[in-house]
Chains A and B, each alone.
Chain A
Amino acid sequence: MGIGQELRDVLNEETVNRILQEALARGGDAADLFAEQRFRTSIVLDSGKIDSVTYGYPRGGGVRVVLRNQTGYAFSDELTYNSLLDAARVASSVVETQSRANPIDVTRRTLLPPFTLVNPEPLMPEAGKLDILRRMDAAARAADPRIVSVRIEYMDDVRDVLIGTSEGIYVIDRQYLTSIACTPIAQAGGKRGSGLATLGGRIDADYFAQVSPEDAAQRAALQAVRLMEAGPAPAGPMPVVVAPGWGGVLIHESLGHALEADGIRRGTSLLAGLQGTRVASPLVRVVDDARWPNGRGSYAMDDEGAPGQRTVAVEGGILQSYLVDKQNGRLLTQKSTGNGRRMSYRNWPIPRMTNTYIDKGTSDPASLLNGITKGLYAAELGGGSVETTSGNFNFAVREGYWIENGKLTRPVRGAVLVGNSLETMQRIEGIGNDLKVETTRGTCGKDGQQVPVGVGQPTVRFSSITVGGPSI
């Protein structure tokens, strides 16, 4: 069946026109309809056994009415013309004025996909998926006798969306996503450590011909063993060097969220009113790119029907552009940058990041350790969070190494790094030429909505960050 055909059967241009007209019957600046149908497969393998196999088939649609800064939103789990017409009426009740809208006439638009998948991984037969998981399990166990448990979680998602807007847009898209997480646990002498490897992204089935599932699982197992043996991290401010790739969690938390247009429009973000001013070291270029190949945050269009694009948010340390959705864009008189996203048809769109990274610099990554007498090398980060009003942010270091006299020495674990966005970004004193964008992991939560994202960076050196380990 064609992409989005089942959605189109319920919602052709004509029915969408009528629903949007009903949504704007009491007035409003704009209205949109978002319909979605997903098919998800998830498989959990725990201690060598296929624990559970799950199919998910959620489907529904939501209608939004916007008047200036006001939003009305209603949705239905039942995808029928009548239930969406009801949703339109409920959403319109946010409008208290009594103007009438012009007739709406949506036209089908074609999309320019950021990349093309020939044989998307989620469409592979289940036997192939199960085989990969079993191979990973075996490889993780074989890596070291101290591996006592291995959990592997596989999830894929085929998401069809249909969007109609009062601006006249009618678009249909299909988005594929695959995620695999392998978590081995090592245990010996009363000590434990956990490792992590992730695979996937918006990928073709032949991905596994290039990326070895066994190697990934083995890496995770060896990490679990290393972390079991790692000592406590130090506490206090010190020079920090963050490894490339997933280290981009740092830019996501420190500046990324504060760039989102809702906080800018409300004046609650610390970056409000700072366009054209210095917000980071002159070495820093920050890019949000919805077109990065295979990225978890990549798409042809966002969840408001705006094309996904590459936005240079910070150039030479100067703030160039916010990350803008349609409603906040209207209020700020700025164009949407294609960053209006939602978790599902049950949520209204809000400005979100896609794949966000610090662009590559000129330094040889190895040279970035030079001259550090005592400091921390953050080899792998965990999660992080930020309060965009104050700019206070944190991110966890899963695997770290103590730096002494420009050399990596003993492994450390159990530290979070904390800082203030603007201060910390000014302290970037070296950026490597080894840019890596992580496309296999990254889920960002905001306002109760979880969306897949990518993050990235080259090796980055900070003159000082506060490290929160237990040892003084």
Chain B
Amino acid sequence: MPRQPAYDLADKVRVQAERSGAQEVETYLETNTTIEVRIRQGQLELLSQSAIQGLGLRMFRDRRMGFFYTTDLRETVLTELVNRTLALTNEATPREENKLPEYLASSQSDLEIYDPAVVQLRPEDLVKMARAAEDSAFAKNERIQTTRDVRCGASLYEVFFSNTFIARQTFRATSVWLAATPIATEGAQKREGTYVDRKRFLSDLARPEQIGERAAERALARLGAAAVASGRVPVVFSAEAAAIFLQGLFPALSALNVIEQRSFLAGKIGQPVAGPSVTIIDDGTMRRGLGTRYFDGEGVQTHRTVLVERGILRQYVHSAATARRMNVPATGNGIRSYDSLPTIGPTNFYIDAFSKTRPLIEDVAQGLYVNGLAGFGMDTVSGEYSQQVDGHWIEKGVLAKPVEGVTVAGRLDEMLLGIDAVGRDLDFRNNIASPTIRFKELTVGGAA
């Protein structure tokens, strides 16, 4: 919990900055209390406890912007930082859009992002959950003899916000997570598998036994994997792989990148950009969502925004500044922490579930099922995509053999338009999620 005096101090510094010549000032005070334990072979390897408190202060003078952040909340230090930053602000270029949002819309109903049960978790509770997950991974199969570790943590996060126009606003949010990474061994071969669940509410978290077991299944499934031959085949991305792919795609939907010609989706509003079963949404108001908040990092109320509707590009994602530049309503995506300026980021960002009931692999005669993605192969400026993947080879609609050491590649615009099936297995274990999706055809780079 932030100490009350810190709140008052933030207000005081804001007023001081206004008196020193800033016309508009915004304060963002953030506290975060986290406990995390890591277990390995039944033993506690790490116990970490942290309490973060930091302040970010943004100032505008004659449409010029300056910003500082600090964890040192001594009054003399803050005064000096205000003066130094104001001096530096004179060097910035005036921009029409450099202006704070002037009001916060009426408060939203309870978004259920705070769970007192999470706050009450003690290290010994977390240790118990982590041990249970690890034990069930070991129990799954005798080829699981070790783990990289099992991590369990809980955090409480609180934001205090105010600006020249908006009086003190605050909210708090909790999260709890459990991540298991067992290692499967066969001969000299070792492969790890990770399964993570993260939730706002303790009661929503998957049972530790389930997490351990699923992680073990993933590690075991990778044993004996080999490359397949290069070729162009249908490729199915598992829900988790699709979510990572979607995360990589986010910058292409950012209005700032669109304005600055840094997105392959620039200028495509109203046009088909993906297969007709693809709907992409950013929803900062989803109940219990890990990306849910009452207002964004610059005091704009969060929204549900349909970005791609049945394959048609409807909107980009905005901060207050880009919304002003494009003359559209802000979408509440000014994401930040106290130590950064608001930048356009996702809240709860997902591909919506579609009504396809049969597993997506059933109609595939020969193709690749992708479970894991690694590395940086997406270029949302040029629209090129190429990434390291592992998974399974699909033969006559079933998973036939494990695959690794291969790549998948394509042009992003063609790939999205070529998504010919979307599953219904949408499950939020992160703020970015997707059901299983199928690309009609991608290039697999593998053995000769």
* A interface residue numbers (CB < 8 A to B): 46-60, 69-79, 90-91, 93-94, 126-127, 130, 148-149, 151, 185, 187, 191-194, 227-228, 232-233, 235-237, 266-268, 270, 346, 348, 382-385, 387, 389-390, 392-396, 413-416, 418-420, 466-472
Cβ distance B69 to chain A, nearest Cβ, rounded Å:
5
On whether the beta carbons of B69 and A57 are closer than 8 Å, the reply is: yes
Cβ distance B21 to chain A, nearest Cβ, rounded Å:
15
On whether the beta carbons of A396 and B376 are closer than 8 Å, the reply is: yes
Closest to B145 in A: A267
With A and B bound together, what is the CA distance between A317 and B446 in angstroms? 27
Identify 14 residue pairs between A and B in the complex whose beta-carbon atoms are under 8 Å apart, listed by A's number: A50-B92, A54-B69, A55-B67, A56-B339, A58-B70, A71-B48, A72-B46, A149-B260, A194-B382, A235-B230, A235-B445, A384-B375, A392-B374, A472-B232
B335 within 8 A of A: no
Cβ distance B279 to chain A, nearest Cβ, rounded Å:
26
With A and B bound together, what is the CA distance between A171 and B161 in angstroms? 39
| Segment of B99-107, B196-204, B312-320, B400-408 in the binding face | B400-408
Cβ distance B231 to chain A, nearest Cβ, rounded Å:
7
With A and B bound together, what is the CA distance between A50 and B95 in angstroms? 9
Cβ distance B62 to chain A, nearest Cβ, rounded Å:
13
On whether the beta carbons of A467 and B375 are closer than 8 Å, the reply is: no
On whether the beta carbons of B43 and A50 are closer than 8 Å, the reply is: no
On whether the beta carbons of B445 and A236 are closer than 8 Å, the reply is: yes
On whether the beta carbons of B382 and A266 are closer than 8 Å, the reply is: no
On whether the beta carbons of B49 and A74 are closer than 8 Å, the reply is: yes
With A and B bound together, what is the CA distance between A71 and B410 in angstroms? 45
With A and B bound together, what is the CA distance between A266 and B182 in angstroms? 12
On whether the beta carbons of B92 and A470 are closer than 8 Å, the reply is: no
Chain B 382-416 interface 0/1 with A at a Cβ cutoff of 8 Å (1 = within)? 11111110100000000000001111111100000
Cβ distance B115 to chain A, nearest Cβ, rounded Å:
23
On whether the beta carbons of A57 and B77 are closer than 8 Å, the reply is: yes
Contacts of A149 in B (CB 8 A): 260-262
| Segment of B51-59, B283-291, B350-358, B430-438 in the binding face | B51-59
Closest to B53 in A: A77
Closest to A346 in B: B50
With A and B bound together, what is the CA distance between A67 and B48 in angstroms? 14
Contacts of A233 in B (CB 8 A): 386, 409
Closest to A397 in B: B386
On whether the beta carbons of A472 and B71 are closer than 8 Å, the reply is: no
On whether the beta carbons of A77 and B382 are closer than 8 Å, the reply is: no
With A and B bound together, what is the CA distance between A366 and B81 in angstroms? 54
With A and B bound together, what is the CA distance between A387 and B375 in angstroms? 10
Contacts of A346 in B (CB 8 A): 50, 52
On whether the beta carbons of B411 and A416 are closer than 8 Å, the reply is: no
On whether the beta carbons of A389 and B190 are closer than 8 Å, the reply is: yes
Cβ distance B342 to chain A, nearest Cβ, rounded Å:
10
B84 within 8 A of A: yes
With A and B bound together, what is the CA distance between A78 and B68 in angstroms? 18
With A and B bound together, what is the CA distance between A277 and B25 in angstroms? 62
The winner among B46, B222, B390 for most chain A CB atoms within 10 A is: B46
On whether the beta carbons of B387 and A70 are closer than 8 Å, the reply is: no
On whether the beta carbons of A416 and B388 are closer than 8 Å, the reply is: yes
Cβ distance A255 to chain B, nearest Cβ, rounded Å:
16
Contacts of A127 in B (CB 8 A): 91
Closest to A130 in B: B91
B379 within 8 A of A: yes
On whether the beta carbons of B376 and A383 are closer than 8 Å, the reply is: yes
The winner among A69, A76, A268 for most chain B CB atoms within 10 A is: A268
On whether the beta carbons of B45 and A57 are closer than 8 Å, the reply is: no
Contacts of B404 in A (CB 8 A): 390, 392
B146 within 8 A of A: yes
Could you list 17 further interchain pairs (A-B, Cβ under 8 angstroms) beyond the known A185-B261, A416-B376? A51-B65, A53-B92, A54-B67, A54-B341, A60-B71, A79-B72, A93-B47, A192-B381, A235-B443, A236-B447, A267-B146, A346-B52, A390-B222, A416-B377, A466-B447, A467-B407, A468-B445
Contacts of A57 in B (CB 8 A): 68-72, 77, 81
Contacts of B231 in A (CB 8 A): 472
On whether the beta carbons of B376 and A384 are closer than 8 Å, the reply is: yes
Contacts of A58 in B (CB 8 A): 54, 69-72, 339
On whether the beta carbons of A185 and B262 are closer than 8 Å, the reply is: yes
With A and B bound together, what is the CA distance between A472 and B376 in angstroms? 21
If the complex has contacts A74-B49, A266-B148, are A396 and B70 also in contact, measured as CB distance less than 8 A? Answer: no
On whether the beta carbons of B381 and A73 are closer than 8 Å, the reply is: no
If the complex has contacts A50-B92, A268-B148, are A75 and B375 also in contact, measured as CB distance less than 8 A? Answer: no
Contacts of A78 in B (CB 8 A): 53, 71, 73
With A and B bound together, what is the CA distance between A383 and B259 in angstroms? 26
With A and B bound together, what is the CA distance between A51 and B94 in angstroms? 8
Contacts of A77 in B (CB 8 A): 51-54, 71-72
With A and B bound together, what is the CA distance between A41 and B273 in angstroms? 40
B361 within 8 A of A: no
On whether the beta carbons of B50 and A74 are closer than 8 Å, the reply is: yes
Chain B 24-47 interface 0/1 with A at a Cβ cutoff of 8 Å (1 = within)? 000000000000000010011111
On whether the beta carbons of B191 and A389 are closer than 8 Å, the reply is: yes
On whether the beta carbons of A387 and B192 are closer than 8 Å, the reply is: yes
On whether the beta carbons of A471 and B375 are closer than 8 Å, the reply is: no
On whether the beta carbons of A418 and B376 are closer than 8 Å, the reply is: no
Closest to A55 in B: B68
Closest to B38 in A: A71
On whether the beta carbons of B190 and A270 are closer than 8 Å, the reply is: yes
With A and B bound together, what is the CA distance between A424 and B388 in angstroms? 15
With A and B bound together, what is the CA distance between A151 and B257 in angstroms? 11
With A and B bound together, what is the CA distance between A266 and B66 in angstroms? 47
Contacts of B84 in A (CB 8 A): 55
Contacts of B264 in A (CB 8 A): 192
Cβ distance B334 to chain A, nearest Cβ, rounded Å:
13
Contacts of A75 in B (CB 8 A): 50
With A and B bound together, what is the CA distance between A395 and B411 in angstroms? 18
With A and B bound together, what is the CA distance between A137 and B376 in angstroms? 27
Contacts of A72 in B (CB 8 A): 46-48
B444 within 8 A of A: yes
On whether the beta carbons of B85 and A469 are closer than 8 Å, the reply is: no
If the complex has contacts A59-B72, A79-B72, are A235 and B54 also in contact, measured as CB distance less than 8 A? Answer: no
B89 within 8 A of A: yes
With A and B bound together, what is the CA distance between A332 and B18 in angstroms? 58
On whether the beta carbons of A235 and B72 are closer than 8 Å, the reply is: no
Cβ distance A164 to chain B, nearest Cβ, rounded Å:
20
With A and B bound together, what is the CA distance between A76 and B54 in angstroms? 11
On whether the beta carbons of B190 and A268 are closer than 8 Å, the reply is: yes
